[in-house]
Structure 1
Amino acid sequence: MLFLILSIVCSVTVGVLFKWFRNHAAFNSKAIIATNYAIALLLCYFCFPPQFDTLLEQAPWPLYLALGLLLPSVFLLLSQSIRYMGIVKTDAAQRLSLFIPLLASWLLFGEQFSTLKVLAFGLGFPALLLILSKPTANSNSNWGYPAMVLLGFGVIDILFKQIALQTQLPFTTSLLVIFALALVIMSGVVGYEIFIQRQKISGINALWGVAVGVFNFGNIYFYLKAHQAFSENPSTVFAGMNMGVIVLGSLIGVLIFKEKLSQKNYLGIFLALLAIVLLTYAQLNT
């Protein structure tokens, strides 16, 4: 259970760091994300020694390239979503993305849905609308960012599930390659800002990127360890992670950052938690 708690804390901390850093005049999300991937790459290399012997022959490069592009793109959207919509709604939207791979398994792969799964979907979509609901008088109301975060993480989850099916390569070796590709892409973006657009980027962004990278990798590392600890009951990790992030993110957003939530938002969070509980129960009984 300790690994699961640590993974939840690391996941929410990434959002908290972006919320804090954004208040600084020198903030540059692209530089932070690039450094984040450099740190995650190094930690992944030393914590999970890669197996390069079969990489060139058997690696699913189209999946690697897609994830290498999507991960930094969605990370940038995550930063913008936290800016405009806050931690509470962003975390909730991110966790509701779990419905996308399940929907894909039904529409694309012909999986049969139980009554509980259908009910969970029935709760999940209104939950999302209620969570993203915000008074139109607020100029910062931009539900597009968390909606794209939800869609992006959902697609990423589908691609990672495909990576997990590639049994000829350890998952962590694939993760190392994906981090490397994401780093190359973000380094190109930052290089364009520095050398073409002549933007000055403060070195403090590198320090912030180190912090984000450590917690981002910690989220993945402890999540994998939690799955090892609960190898016979993965639904415990699945449900605990999603509910834990929504609850902890909501508490921090409301209590520390004083984010304003309406009754609709609270109802949406409750429905999201209920949908995850139903979905987990359905998974346990299949």
Structure 2
Amino acid sequence: MMYLIIAVLCSVAVSVLLKILRQKNIDIRQTIVAGYPVAFLLTWVLLKPDVSSIGALGNAWGIIIALGVLLPAVFIILGRAIESVGMVATDAAQRLSLIIPIVAAFLLFGEVLTGTRILGLALGFLALGALVYRPQHGLINTQAKQTPLWLFGVWLGYGVIDILFKQVAKQGAAFPLTLFVAFGLAGLLLLVYLLITRVRWQGNALSAGLLLGALNMGNIYAYVRAHQVLSESPSIVFTGMNVGVIAVATLIGVGIFKEQLNRINIVGLLLAVCCVAILFLA
């Protein structure tokens, strides 16, 4: 259970860090690019990828390139979503992204869609709608219009990344090697982009990246280890991770950052928990 607790805390800590950086007007793109060398190195040390088999990746390279683009992009979107709607709704939307690979499995890969899964998917979409709901008073400003877009971006981005990782695994590419190459490519592409745009570098943004990279890798490593240690009880790991993140993020978001939730948002959180539980049991 210790690995599961560490995975939950690292995941929420990433959102807390991004929220603090946004409040201080720090360029999180620089934080993200500085975090990738840390994640790259930790992947090498902790997961020990077999670099000698890199030539056997074959058709998986297309998927890895897509991951190299999406991984930093979804982090940037995550930061904007946290700024717009807070970490409670954003982390819940991230957990609800499990809907996307389930729908893809049905539409693209021929899996059977059962009644239980239909119920779980319906609850998931209702939860997502409830989480993005914000009552409007008077004129609707630009930020209010963009709020649902950032949250849906988090949901869609993490869902597509999940599909890509699953497809790489099916092609026989080892998860550690895939993660290793994807981290390296993501960091390189984002660095090139920032250099081309002649960004003004911020020392505090780069130093925060060291923490972001460690937390991101800590989340992934602890989650993988939790599945290995609790291999006979995957339901505990899956449900504990997703429900745990929603619960801890809610406590921190409301208790420490004083984020405001209306009644419909609260219903959305409850629906999100039910969705996660039902989709796994299905």
Deviations 1:110-138, CA, capped at 9 Å, x for gaps: 21122211111121111110011012237
Q: What does residue range 77-226 of structure 1 map to in structure 2 within 5 Å?
A: 77-137=77-137, 139=141, 140-141=143-144, 142-167=147-172, 169-194=173-198, 199-226=199-226
Q: Give 1:64 deviation, angstroms.
A: 0.7
Say what the alpha-carbon RMSD is for the aligned residues. 1.4
Alignment partners' CA distance in 1, 2:124 and 2:98: 10
Alignment partners' CA distance in 2, 1:98 and 1:48: 24
Kept in 1: contact 2:133–2:265 (CA 8 A): yes
Which has the larger helix fraction?
A: 2
Q: Number of residues paired by the alignment?
A: 276
Alignment partners' CA distance in 2, 1:159 and 1:76: 19
Aligned residue for 2:265, secondary structure, equals helix
Kept in 1: contact 2:70–2:161 (CA 8 A): yes
Partner residue in 2 for 1:46: 45
Deviations 1:190-247, CA, capped at 9 Å, x for gaps: 21233xxxx4222111110011111011000001001101222323212111111111
Kept in 2: contact 1:132–1:143 (CA 8 A): yes
- The one-letter code sitting in structure 1 at the alignment partner of 2:182 is I
Deviations 1:152-179, CA, capped at 9 Å, x for gaps: 1110000011122233x42101110000
Kept in 1: contact 2:33–2:190 (CA 8 A): yes
Alignment partners' CA distance in 1, 2:111 and 2:57: 28
Report % sequence identity. Answer: 41
Alignment partners' CA distance in 1, 2:100 and 2:79: 21
Kept in 2: contact 1:243–1:273 (CA 8 A): yes
- The one-letter code sitting in structure 1 at the alignment partner of 2:155 is L
TM-score, with normalisation over the residues of structure 2? 0.94
Kept in 2: contact 1:30–1:189 (CA 8 A): no
Alignment partners' CA distance in 2, 1:61 and 1:280: 30
- The one-letter code sitting in structure 2 at the alignment partner of 1:150 is W
Structure 1 unaligned runs (5+)? none
Partner residue in 1 for 2:71: 71
Kept in 1: contact 2:72–2:190 (CA 8 A): yes
Structure 2 unaligned runs (5+)? none
- The one-letter code sitting in structure 2 at the alignment partner of 1:204 is N
Deviations 1:18-68, CA, capped at 9 Å, x for gaps: 11122224x111100001111100111122222122212334211110101
Deviations 1:64-120, CA, capped at 9 Å, x for gaps: 101011111111100110111110111011111000000111111221122211111
TM-score, with normalisation over the residues of structure 1? 0.93
